[in-house]
Amino acid sequence: MAQVVQGAGTLAQVLVEYAETEKALSDPAVHADQSVAKRLGRRYAQLAPIVGCARELERVRGDEQAARDMAGEDAAFAAEAEELAARIPELENRLRELLLPKDPNDLKDVLLEIKAGEGGDESALFAGDLLRMYLRYAERQGWITEILDDEETDLGGHKSVTVAVRARNPETPVWQKLKYEGGVHRVQRVPVTESQGRIHTSAAGVLVLPEAEDVDVDIDMNDLRIDVYRSSGPGGQSVNTTDSAVRITHVPTGTVVAMQNEKSQLQNREAALRVLRARLLAHAQEQAAEAASDARRSQVRTVDRSERVRTYNFAENRIADHRVNFKAYNLDQVLDGALDDVIEALTKADTEAALAGNTEH
């Protein structure tokens, strides 16, 4: 109970912000600017579970007290009071979790980049498996996906692919789920290119970036160097007779983004700018996290992208996430988009670490 009392000031602020946001969303003038309405809608969806839990806790406490008052006249109310009393710690714990500092990117959409790594053609084929896994998971979540850039190989693998993943509504935020997927994913299986039937190990890298909005990153167009060239396909052959591919370099940071998926130079330019904004936002947030205290860094959950985070073992139909010692033998289902269990395990570990940090401080 001490933790809930300690966080009461934060709860009071949440209740005030919730009321103000609800009032703002009821104003037709707000919806004239869709970016503002979208931001408020996302924030409202984030605050609603906290307010709902707080109200439920208040109701249960009131009902428990009323039942105890009535127990002197009717013994049946004593049992009801005990049942209600048992619910109070559960609700307090839930409220404590909901009041933890939020990842500022939780309600953002995502740009997902998958790149082949060690293992040549087999790595590119595995990158294709990961792409399908994330597309199927997004479909299960009701998200909208858009492939911004895709560099395929002769065997049908993917040397590099970038996908935009967008939520249809604020209740199903994308970053909140996919932020744990960044890192090196390792596969152990017999490649289609292996004639001896030997198991090989290869890897692909996954980079997850919160998609930046215009208000998040201000790009000075004078800081950009934009080059155009002809698109190329598997094996290096030209697939376009016009200079439609675009490479944008952000000179101050040296960040380079290249796009060639669309036939239109303008479309490739817009896609490249989307990815550039996301990378610059991630870079700025990483710098802020490094400059902050240990407590602040513990709240900004970013995966070390050089870390091997997960192994997919086809022979045993096993998936293992090395960060939380998660292991399951349903790899075939996971590759078909059933990622809920592993993401839930990562979310739970993150929450427990944050709670422990709050208790220590």
In tens, the pLDDT along 311-341 reads: 999 999 999 999 999 999 999 999 999 999 9
Which one-letter amino acid corresponds to residue 88? I
How many of the other CB atoms lie within 10 Å of CB of 163? 19
Domain ranges of the chain: 2-98, 110-218+263-353
CB 111 within 8 A of CB 211: yes
> Tokens 């700018």 — which residue?
273
**Would you tell me which CATH number, out of the four given (3.30.70.1660, 3.30.70.141, 2.40.100.10, 3.40.50.10490), belongs to the domain 110-218+263-353?**
3.30.70.1660
Residue 113 is predicted with a pLDDT of 93
pLDDT score at 305: 37
Token pair recorded at residue 278:
């996301």
Mean pLDDT taken over the chain: 84
Q: Are 323 and 301 in contact (CB under 8 A)?
A: no
Across 333-349, b (16+ Cβ under 10 Å) vs e yields ebbebbbeebbebbbeb
Residue-level pLDDT at 169: 81
Q: What is the pTM of this model?
A: 0.73
Other beta carbons within 10 angstroms of residue 62's beta carbon come to 11
Query: 209 - beta bridge partners?
Result: 111
Q: Could you tell me which residues are beta bridge partners of residue 312?
A: 187, 319
pLDDT at 237: 52
Residue 69: which residues within 8 A CB-CB, separation 6 or more?
Answer: none
Distance CA 262, CA 257 (A): 15
Distance CA 15, CA 19 (A): 6
Tell me the C-alpha distance between 348 and 337, whole Å: 20
Tell me how crowded residue 179 is: count the other CB atoms within 10 A of its CB. Answer: 24
Long-range contacts from 86-92, C-beta under 8 angstroms, 24+ separation = 87/60, 88/57, 88/60, 88/61, 88/64, 91/53, 91/56, 91/57, 91/60, 92/1, 92/3, 92/4, 92/57
User: What are the residues facing 186 on neighbouring strands?
Assistant: 203, 311
Retrieve residue 118's tokens.
Answer: 């060690």
pLDDT averaged over 10-residue windows placed end to end, the chain, 361 residues: 39 91 91 85 88 95 93 86 93 90 85 88 93 97 93 88 90 89 92 75 91 78 89 58 83 91 88 91 78 41 56 96 94 97 93 75 46
Tokens of 131: 């792409």
d(CA 323, CA 344): 13
> Would you put residue 276 in left (φ > 0), alpha (ψ -120 to 50) or beta?
alpha
d(CA 167, CA 257): 24
CA distance 302 to 208: 9
